[in-house]
Structure formats: C-alpha cells, structure tokens
Amino acid sequence: MDFRQLQYFIAVAEELHFGYAAQRLHMSQPPLSNAIRKFESELEVTLFDRSSRSVSLTPAGSFLLPRAKQIVREVDDLKTALSTFGQQEPISVRIGFVGTASYQIMPEVLRVASVERPHLSIEVHGEMVAPNVERSLIHGELDFAVVRLPSENPLIEAKVLRSDRFVLAMPRHHRLLTGGKSPTLKDLQGEDFVAYESSTAAARVLDADGIFRRIVPRRITKVQETSTFLALVTAGIGIGFIPEYAYPLNDSSLVYQQLPGLPSIDLALAWRKGLENPLHSYIDSLMQRVIAGSSDASSD
C-alpha cells in the first residue's frame, strides 16, 4: 500500500465514478482502473462493486474510506509542518469569519494554533457579513473563512463543519420568563424582535422557514453584526433568533431558549474555488477539532 493508491481510492470512493475520479486526478480512466484493481489485489479484498451503470463501496471499502482520509490528512499535515523548518519568515494565513463565530470558535482557533504552530501567523478579519466574506475570498484578500450557509456564489467552495439550531435570545428578566416559564412560538406573537439583515445567511434561512410570517412581530430592528444583535437584545430593544454556540458563554444578562420548530443553519469552512493552499488540510482539521470541542463544552 502506498500513498498514491490511497489518493486514487479516495477519489473513486467520493465520486463513485471512475471517469469523474480520473478527471479529478488529472489522469485517464484506464490507468486509474488498473491501479484500483492492483490495490484490491494487494489488499486481497474487493473495495468496489462495479456494474455497467454504477460503482458502489463494498463493506471493506466503507471501512477503509475514513481511515484512508485520516492517513492522507496526517501526511499533508506532516508535509506542512516540515515545510516551515528553515524558513526565515513565519508562514501566514488570512482567515475571515462571520459574527456568529466570534465568541466560542475563533478565540479557541487562535489559541490552539498558537500552541500547535507557533511559527504560523494568522491574520484575522472578524464580524464580516456574507457578501463581504465572499468578495474577499474571490479577490484573494482572504485565504479561508468561517461562514454560515447557504452561499449562492459558484466561485466559493465550502465544507460543512456543523449544523446549529436557532435559539431564542432574551433578556434574563423578560416578562415571558416570569415564574420560570419557557415561552412557546405562540407566546412570541406581537413581540419586538432584533433580526439579522437580509444579506446574511441567517436571515435567508429564517426567511425560507417563514418564522416571522408565523409569529408576526410588532416591530423588527435589523442588524448585520452579532455583537450589535446581542447588545440590542440586552438593552431590551427586542428578542431574537440566533444560532446556538454563537454567543459568549459567560454572558449572564441574556438567556437562550431552545424552542420546538426553529430551523437549523450550517457552519462551514469556505475558500475560493480552485484554491491550492498548503495549509488547507491543517486549517480544516483545526476548525473541526475546535468546533467539536466547543459543542461538547456548550452541552455540559
């Protein structure tokens, strides 16, 4: 088993089509098919069920796929780490992020990276709205960004890191919380709301769900930044829907209610389509580890 065989296997396993996998690997199909057959022969297992119309993973192939991806990621990380030795200047990466990643995600990303990669310089661009993030990625002003989906720009690629439910943010002493009650969506009829502007992914998800058409707020104050959103809710301007894990854990002035019927929104790592960055594998791994940790901590 060699590294290239694993790369070939992963491409076919993800595409489930030898022709598409060959295009992805910038090679012709016959050599790829021969390489996979040789790989199966060496392992003495069948990795793919092939027919004239389809390709599918066998149980052995399904078992191998996540392990092969992990090996490739670790090799890529090792290459990146070794490339920093002997450099006179620290390597750098520019990361943007939307406001809902400001409190529980990006500080921990920077902390972990400073320990694991002390020579890595991270330039941070925070509290960005979706159109500005996409424009900065396309124009090469950012290398990566932590964004909320959906994104409608065909020049942007993204990998979902986690799906978060919306929760209801309220001042701790709001009248709907008196007597230890938990409000329902019906209780929110005619309330004042703080909401994200229509250019944001959060607004698009909530609009598609039709939540405000169902509860009919009395007044909606729209904002772009999550910090402004939280400040207005704290000031009693209105209550509002915010993705879970998007707020500071140590803020005792607000409470966050989980209500049945609220939609979810994806958090993703995004980059310009076709970008080849030697730090891609590390940034992807770093984000996944930090986000998994923040989810665990928030659920404790």
Q: Report whether 32 contacts 47 (CB < 8 A).
A: no
Domain of residue 272, CATH code: 3.40.190.10
Same domain, 257 and 173: yes
Same domain, 221 and 271: no
- Quote the CA–CA distance of 7 and 28 in Å, as a whole number: 15
Same domain, 154 and 272: yes
Using DSSP bridges, classify how beta strands 144-148 and 240-243 pair: parallel, antiparallel or unpaired: unpaired
Same domain, 220 and 237: yes
148-to-118, 201, 238 alpha-carbon distances in Å: 28, 6, 23
Element (H, E) at 144: strand 144-148
Same domain, 19 and 51: yes
Same domain, 55 and 195: no
Identify the domain boundary among 59, 83, 107: 83
Same domain, 98 and 20: no
Residue 219 belongs to what domain range?
164-264
pLDDT value of residue 21: 92
- Name the residue with tokens 């690997």: 25
Give the tens place of pLDDT for each residue, 63-84. Answer: 999 999 989 888 887 777 666 5
pLDDT value of residue 85: 57
- Quote the CA–CA distance of 245 and 166 in Å, as a whole number: 9
Phi and psi of 274, rounded to 5°?
Answer: 85, 0
Phi and psi of 224, rounded to 5°?
Answer: -100, -45
Same domain, 293 and 257: no
Largest Cα–Cα distance in the chain? Answer: 71
pLDDT value of residue 277: 87
Same domain, 152 and 31: no
Same domain, 50 and 177: no
Give the tens place of pLDDT for each residue, 210-266. Answer: 999 999 999 999 998 888 999 999 999 999 999 988 887 777 889 999 999 899 999
Q: Within 10 Å of residue 208's Cβ, how many Cβ atoms?
A: 10
pLDDT value of residue 98: 84
Residues of the chain with pLDDT under 70: 81-90, 294-300
Same domain, 30 and 156: no
Residues 6+ apart with CB under 8 A from 62: none
User: How many separate domains does the chain show?
Assistant: 3
Identify the domain boundary among 30, 48, 83: 83
Same domain, 111 and 183: no
pLDDT value of residue 81: 67
pLDDT value of residue 52: 80
CA angle 125, 99, 261 (to 5 degrees): 155
pLDDT value of residue 88: 45
- Structure tokens belonging to residue 129: 């709205």
Domain of residue 42, CATH code: 1.10.10.10
pLDDT value of residue 151: 81
